[in-house]
Structure 1
């Protein structure tokens, strides 16, 4: 994608925005997709690895990006966890860090408001709709082709896999997940093409995200509640 300066978790957060409504839509489990993208980027940078199913960091390594480094620090300081464990543990913290970074870089604007006129809160508005529209078009091109999977950059492959598996319906609706399921499988392996063993890590990460999303959906179904990005 031409806008590669942003990390995977910041890009997937932006992909969840509906530029017409200027709000996040169709992404009840955005925090899980954001966490998956953060783990995917750390894995692609070889800053976390899989040791007998446990996510293992390179201690002391940092990227210079607040959201990624915050997750690295959390992994270092916490008890060992599997990919599934890290998909959900304090995942909303990563989403909040990504959102704050996008505010500081001018992609979002934060405004103070009050809920029911009483409780202080913040409202966020998208500032670079054109960027998001191009980002969305590029993601769809990765999913639909006709560019061969072997020519898709690994980061872009991971982004689309996480958007599809995380069920960001504004990017990959259910019909596209089914129609392009084989290509999504290929993109999963492509996202780990740079190093031996990395395709297996990306498949494990995708499986963990799918499991976490299914659990979240089941919880909402049983409680009758909704979700939010």
Structure 2
């Protein structure tokens, strides 16, 4: 799981004290974006030739989140709790607290490091860009966003080396999140 960007993004979006994701709809988009970044980093531009990253981020996001949760459960990093009601949905809880701490430390190192962004592993730059775009405050606080704006922007810009337009798709994730939740007529 060390190189599974989607699983690492899920862990970043997990609220350990509450025992659940901070925001499930937001995490769907972040995990989907991480999956596409992973595909691009392996030379596969996505299911549609990589022409419209923003559309690809929104597509199949729920299914992608379920697949990531299944991978985390299979790896022993998470467990499934029974639904609270007869018609409830399954609840996934992260059981490997060391994995949570490790991914947060990794992103914190990327954010607070003094070396050039170009020296960061692409996965770390991508995780930082996703955490900042997704508003995961436990990882990138509002103050960090202001203080390290140039570093976060450089990490986001580095995604363009994987595929043209991928950096723009991550940069516009906050707007995509609002639209996907119906705030701007999106679906």
Q: Which TM-score bucket, shorter chain as reference?
A: 0.7 to 0.9
Name the SS of the counterpart of 1:110 in structure 2: strand
Provide the C-alpha distance between the structure 1 equivalents of 2:179 and 2:65, rounded to a whole number of angstroms: 21
> What's the counterpart of residue 63 of structure 1?
none
| Alpha-carbon distance, 1:178 to partner | 2.4
> What's the counterpart of residue 71 of structure 1?
none
> Structure 1 residue aligned with 2:100, among 124, 127, 132?
132
Name the SS of the counterpart of 2:2 in structure 1: coil
Q: Does 1:98 align with 2:98?
A: no
Larger Rg: 1
> What's the counterpart of residue 171 of structure 1?
139
> What's the counterpart of residue 169 of structure 2?
208
> Structure 1 residue aligned with 2:124, among 141, 156, 161?
156
Q: Does 1:7 align with 2:4?
A: yes
> Structure 1 residue aligned with 2:115, among 144, 147, 153?
147
| Alpha-carbon distance, 1:44 to partner | 1.0
> Structure 2 residue aligned with 1:42, among 39, 42, 48?
39
Gaps of 5+ in 2: none
User: Would the aligned equivalents of 1:188 and 1:199 in 2 still touch at CA under 8 Å?
Assistant: no
User: Aligned residues, how many?
Assistant: 184
- CA 1:165/1:181 → structure 2, altered by over 3 Å: closer, same or farther? same
> What's the counterpart of residue 31 of structure 1?
28
| Alpha-carbon distance, 1:220 to partner | 5.3
- CA 1:199/1:81 → structure 2, altered by over 3 Å: closer, same or farther? closer
| 1:60-92 Cα distance to aligned partner (Å, 9 max, x none) | xxxxxxxxxxxxxxx26xx98511110101211
Q: TM-score, normalised by structure 2?
A: 0.84
- CA 1:80/1:126 → structure 2, altered by over 3 Å: closer, same or farther? closer
Tell me: higher relative CO, structure 1 or 2? Use CA pairs within 8 A at least 6 residues apart: 1
Q: Which has the higher strand share?
A: 1
Provide the C-alpha distance between the structure 1 equivalents of 2:26 and 2:162, rounded to a whole number of angstroms: 24
